[in-house]
Amino acid sequence: MKFEKYLWPTGILFIMTLALLSFCAPSSQKPKIHAEIVSEKGDGNEIIRHERTYMGDRLIADTEIEKIGLYHGKGTMWNIEKGYKELEGQWKYGYWTGEWRRFDETGRLISITIYRTGSPIAYSQLQDGKMVQIPKEKWPKTAKKRQSFPTGIKGESGGPSPEFVN
């Protein structure tokens, strides 16, 4: 399986950071990005599949996937440079859904973007120790990002990986 473009609520920033790290590091020191599919038993003995993405040996994303490879369930992204949990939310058949929470390096919740089928519908930000809903015209670019198509893993052919097709 090859690493494909992944869309996160911070997709542009994420991709730019990866590009900068890749461009600036000498070729012998460039961290390799790779992903793996892991199956685990859930609380009810159901099998939960995850796509785990690493930069070198550091986990940078862990996303639950459904049978044909669409992101579906919990998604978590860690800061590439410092390793803290930066973003957490839910996927529904490849689209961002519900609350996506952003954290600072101390673990403090700093913002929440609410999505419906990949489109942002509300944004709140920490101000003076309280979460405050922000008017749409004042949202940062990362909160305005929309998905135009579902996201998931891709096999070599561009479709679902063969391991997900019965």
pLDDT tens, position by position, 15-60: 445 555 555 555 556 678 899 999 988 888 888 999 999 999 899 9
- Specify if 84 maps to a domain: yes
pLDDT of residue 13: 44
Classify residue 121 as left (phi > 0), alpha (psi -120 to 50) or beta: alpha
Structural domain boundaries enclosing 83: 11-18+31-151
pTM: 0.72
Q: 53-101 pLDDT, tens per residue?
A: 999 989 999 999 998 899 999 999 999 889 999 999 999 999 999 999 9
- Specify if 6 maps to a domain: no
Among 97-101, 112-116, 156-160, name the one with the lowest average pLDDT: 156-160
Q: Which residue has the higher pLDDT, 8 or 132?
A: 132
- Rounded distance, CA 118 to CA 127, Å? 26
Among 9-13, 49-53, 81-85, 135-139, name the one with the lowest average pLDDT: 9-13
Residue type, 48: I
Distance, C-alpha 109 to centroid of its chain: 17
Q: Which residue has the higher pLDDT, 45 or 125?
A: 125
Distances (CA, A) of 95 to 45, 85, 116: 25, 20, 8
Q: Which residue has the higher pLDDT, 144 or 160?
A: 144
- Specify if 159 maps to a domain: no
Question: Count of CB atoms within 10 A of residue 140's CB?
Answer: 12
- Specify if 1 maps to a domain: no
Q: For residue 141, give the 3-state DSSP assignment.
A: helix
> Which residues share a beta bridge with 99?
114
Contacts of 62 (CB under 8 A, 6+ apart): 50, 51, 52, 53, 74, 75, 76
- Rounded distance, CA 69 to CA 22, Å? 27
CA 108-79-31 angle, to 5 degrees, is 165
- Specify if 102 maps to a domain: yes
Count, residues in the chain: 166
Q: How many domains does the chain have?
A: 1
- Specify if 3 maps to a domain: no
- Specify if 131 maps to a domain: yes
- Specify if 66 maps to a domain: yes
